[in-house]
Structure 1
Amino acid sequence: MSPFNLFEAVGAIRGELRHSNFLAYLLSPSRPHGLGARPLAALIRSILSRMDVKDRPIMALELIAGDLDDAIVYRERDSIDILVELPSLKLVVAIENKVGSKAGDGQLKRYDERLKVSYPDHRRLMVFLTPESTLPDHDGYVAYDYSDVVTTMESLISDELEPVPTETKLIIQHYVDMVRRHIVQDEQLRTLAVTLYERHKEAFEFIFDCRPEPNSVLTVVRGCVQSVQGLVVDSSGSNMFRFTVEAWDEKLKVIKGDPAKWSKTGRGLLFEVKTYPNTPGRLNVSLILGPGDPEMRQKVYAAAGTDTKLFKGLVKPMGAQWVTIFSRDLLTANQAKGMTFEQQEFNVRAAWSDFQGGQLGSLITAIIELDELLNQGSAAPVGPTA
């Protein structure tokens, strides 16, 4: 865990822009990394291997026989993270990179439509790159993950038949090590960690109990949620956590989610509390309708749309996989400016108390009533909730 790592030193662990910059540099045959088109060819072959043969826009043999040296790699062209144009193969590869966030509603569809206009005569390979091969909300994309990226890179620098320049090999190895430590789960590191824990369980638990709590308003709200009987934390990340309602787990019969695409519990609705790295100070609580039966999702969304007094912040149009049907800032960026952490904590607790006493109970009741209507076969939306 301790060796020097260049990417950790410059703070490029979870920054999407820096990951995209490095990958774009490596994929460009014209860059002076000494690898030519080998990284680009290897990555495309790896992506194609994740697809059914009938869905592949190009055959692997055609890729091997083709000339990739004329490839042009763009960053943020038409807002696409990495765009690779291969004129000789009449192929364009679009990579949407998400390290610590998710794609916006309709974002992938918009990019696909732009490329159809910009490259009408080209075949298209659309890639959704995430740490855990998250399924895209657009059928034109193939899910791809960082573990495959680093495996492909390792195969390049370990090929004895085609030596890699020493400097390039070192940098790629640093990148691979950083990704495995921080982005994807490395089984070797996990095994070592488990072994250490088993040998020194009491010491680790004592250290964990003595750890200082970070000054985070997200931690403040998490504590507020856990102190409310009937609320349960579902999952969490570096800048957010999701929670649900025990009564929903017990009573919801129709409003269910797809466990393969979102919460493994099969919950279709989750509250999400989130901070925003690009908007320091902002803290938001939202109610998210996740992937599930399309007809059910449409009815829930339509019902929320009839009661805008309760379901404030409903996002339009409805996303194919996720959509926010309620949103409220517990602290805005403007409010947080100039505040000490203690002042921010005071305001967040006050906002949570107002949300809990005013809107949370009404939202819980409205969802239960709607599920009962759907279970009875009625498509009628719930009425305004007091």
Structure 2
Amino acid sequence: MDTAESDYAAINDLVVNCPELAQLEEKLGGFNVFQVLKFEYGEIRHSNMLAWLLDPSESHGLDDLFLKKWLMRTLHELPEFGMSSLSPIDVDSWTLLNVEVRREWFHIDLLLVLEHASGEQWVVAIENKVKSTQHSNQLTRYREIVEKHFPRASQKLYLFLTKDPETPEDSAYLPSSYDQVHRALSEAIKSKGSSIGEEPAMLIRNYLTLLEEKFMNDSEVARIAQKIYQQHKRALDVIFEHRPDNLKLVSDELQRLLRENASELGIIPTASSRSYLRFVPSSWDVPQNTNGTAWGNCERTVLFEINLRGKSPYLLVIAGDAPKSWVEPIWEKTAKPPFNPGRRKKVMPKRWVTLHVHTKRLKLSEESLESTQDAVERIYKWIKDALVDKGMKEVISILAEEMKTLEVGSAV
């Protein structure tokens, strides 16, 4: 039996002889509002959900039970004894008169201001990380902001909430996990079940399902999935190998849009790939701009290139593998405005010469990255806006005129 036949047999065996697959489909197949809204890994949306759950005055019916249970569990499960002067017993004995929940206050994800019956004021600052990681000394900066604005607070608690384990760079922060959120919320909804309305209960259960499926390694979903993989490894490896490639889907759709709208945009698409979109303005479609050898079968020397990798695509005007005698005049011409050469080197590069970097970068959100259609729409609009930008039109015009003065087919 050849490899293709063997792979086909393995997939058939998965479909026919895997009762756990139906079990997993049943657990994951129900309606979940968070998955419909592409909520899974959006930090902002998780912070919004937590802000709702942590506010006792909100409509969830949990009062302050989730807030207490989460903080108690976090304190109880600290990796090192003595990391906090607080204990779960302290939290359990709270009598709270008011809880104010602030979102993005001085860029802090969540800030809780707790007013106790004793007259004390406590502050809890929460930095939430789902896919991103800490950076730019942000934990220390946020702590200093809290200390400056709440000098009389009896207690200041700093939590570093993460999907995956990560040690806080500021030792004042206590690590917390979404596994702890899941367990605390499960306990709270079980205790308060009779006082929770039908709609809030559905929302909370949807959220718990999302956390179990996407955030927890030791869950029933994870155990079923691991069992299926152990028994049907070959079939699942084949399926995984042929899974849809989001970057390719985005790139293919953008290439199609550029081809179909080339006349309207005033461009000629060329030499694109999975990670790069390339095209030239129609005014650069001249014999002098055919000295390059860097783009495969494309002979263009200077073109636009868009790097699609990462959360922030960028657009360059770049010359590739051009003869030195040809590219040097353009290199010199682009040393001053309206050109933005980026990190221009003192000596002209030998192969790829960046002539201009579009200053208006596109920032893609987590939600956009999860939706290929949203990413395509946002990137395509960004390209259209770039081509009609006043500075970019001037760049295109200057280079078009400069090309007319250069030779055709110069030797390297």
Q: TM-score, normalised by structure 1?
A: 0.56
Q: 1:84 to 1:57 in 2, by over 3 A?
A: farther
Q: Does 1:15 align with 2:46?
A: no
> Alignment identity in percent?
28
Instruction: Show the counterpart of 1:131.
Output: 163
Instruction: Show the counterpart of 2:135.
Output: 104
1:215 Cα offset (Å): 3.2
Structure 1 residues 78-89: aligned runs within 5 Å: 78-88=106-116, 89=120
CA–CA distance in structure 1, aligned partners of residues 357 and 213 of structure 2:
33
Q: 1:197 to 1:118 in 2, by over 3 A?
A: same
Instruction: Show the counterpart of 1:275.
Output: 310
CA–CA distance in structure 2, aligned partners of residues 158 and 210 of structure 1:
41
Instruction: Show the counterpart of 1:4.
Output: 31
C-alpha RMSD over aligned residues? 3.4
Q: Is the 8 A contact 1:92 1:124 kept in 2?
A: yes
Task: Name the stretch that deviates more: 88-97 or 18-27.
Answer: 88-97
Q: Does 1:28 align with 2:60?
A: no
1:86 Cα offset (Å): 1.0
Task: Name the stretch that deviates more: 117-126 or 55-64.
Answer: 55-64
Instruction: Show the counterpart of 1:114.
Output: 145
Q: Structure 2: which amino acid aligns with 1:275? A: G
**Structure of higher CA gyration radius:** 2
Instruction: Show the counterpart of 2:214.
Output: 182
Instruction: Show the counterpart of 1:146.
Output: 178
1:274 Cα offset (Å): 6.3
Q: Does 1:195 align with 2:227?
A: yes
Residues 285-331 of structure 1, C-alpha deviations (whole Å, 9 max, x = no match): xxxxxxxxxxxxxxxxxxxxxxx999xxxxxxxxxxxxxxxxxx999
Q: Structure 2: which amino acid aligns with 1:96? A: E
Figure out how many residues of one structure are paired with residues of the other and give that number: 245
Q: Secondary structure at the match of 2:133?
A: coil
Q: 1:207 to 1:56 in 2, by over 3 A?
A: closer
Q: Is the 8 A contact 1:41 1:68 kept in 2?
A: no
Q: Does 1:46 align with 2:73?
A: yes
Q: 1:181 to 1:333 in 2, by over 3 A?
A: farther
Q: Structure 1: which amino acid aligns with 2:37? A: V
Structure 1 residues 251-330: aligned runs within 5 Å: 275-276=310-311, 279-281=312-314
1:208 Cα offset (Å): 3.4
Q: Secondary structure at the match of 1:147?
A: helix
Correspondent of 2:92 among 64, 71, 74: 64
Runs of at least 5 residues in structure 1 that lack an aligned partner in the other structure: 222-272, 284-307, 311-328, 340-386
Q: 1:334 to 1:149 in 2, by over 3 A?
A: closer
Q: 1:91 to 1:177 in 2, by over 3 A?
A: same
Task: Name the stretch that deviates more: 203-212 or 87-96.
Answer: 203-212
Q: Is the 8 A contact 1:74 1:84 kept in 2?
A: yes
CA–CA distance in structure 1, aligned partners of residues 162 and 53 of structure 2:
18
Instruction: Show the counterpart of 2:281.
Output: none
Q: Which has the higher contact order (CA 8 A, sep 6+)?
A: 2
Q: Is the 8 A contact 1:57 1:124 kept in 2?
A: no
Q: Structure 2: which amino acid aligns with 1:10? A: L
Q: Structure 1: which amino acid aligns with 2:310? A: T
Runs of at least 5 residues in structure 2 that lack an aligned partner in the other structure: 1-27, 252-272, 276-307, 317-342, 346-355, 363-378, 385-412
Q: TM-score, normalised by structure 2?
A: 0.52
1:172 Cα offset (Å): 1.2
CA–CA distance in structure 1, aligned partners of residues 88 and 94 of structure 2:
10
CA–CA distance in structure 2, aligned partners of residues 47 and 200 of structure 1:
37
Q: 1:126 to 1:282 in 2, by over 3 A?
A: farther
Residues 206-228 of structure 1, C-alpha deviations (whole Å, 9 max, x = no match): 4334444443499957xxxxxxx
CA–CA distance in structure 2, aligned partners of residues 282 and 170 of structure 1:
45
Q: Is the 8 A contact 1:70 1:87 kept in 2?
A: yes
Q: Is the 8 A contact 1:97 1:129 kept in 2?
A: yes
Task: Name the stretch that deviates more: 184-193 or 157-166.
Answer: 157-166
Q: Structure 1: which amino acid aligns with 2:166? A: T
Q: Secondary structure at the match of 1:54?
A: coil
1:191 Cα offset (Å): 2.5
Q: 1:68 to 1:57 in 2, by over 3 A?
A: farther
1:32 Cα offset (Å): 1.8
Q: Does 1:338 align with 2:383?
A: yes
1:167 Cα offset (Å): 2.9
CA–CA distance in structure 2, aligned partners of residues 109 and 190 of structure 1:
35
Q: Is the 8 A contact 2:97 2:115 kept in 1?
A: no
Instruction: Show the counterpart of 2:101.
Output: 73
Structure 1 residues 356-367: aligned runs within 5 Å: none
CA–CA distance in structure 2, aligned partners of residues 106 and 274 of structure 1:
26
Instruction: Show the counterpart of 1:255.
Output: none
CA–CA distance in structure 2, aligned partners of residues 7 and 71 of structure 1:
26
Q: 1:126 to 1:330 in 2, by over 3 A?
A: farther
Q: Structure 2: which amino acid aligns with 1:338? A: I
1:136 Cα offset (Å): 0.8
Q: Secondary structure at the match of 2:159?
A: strand
Residues 251-288 of structure 1, C-alpha deviations (whole Å, 9 max, x = no match): xxxxxxxxxxxxxxxxxxxxxx9611xx35589xxxxx
1:133 Cα offset (Å): 3.0
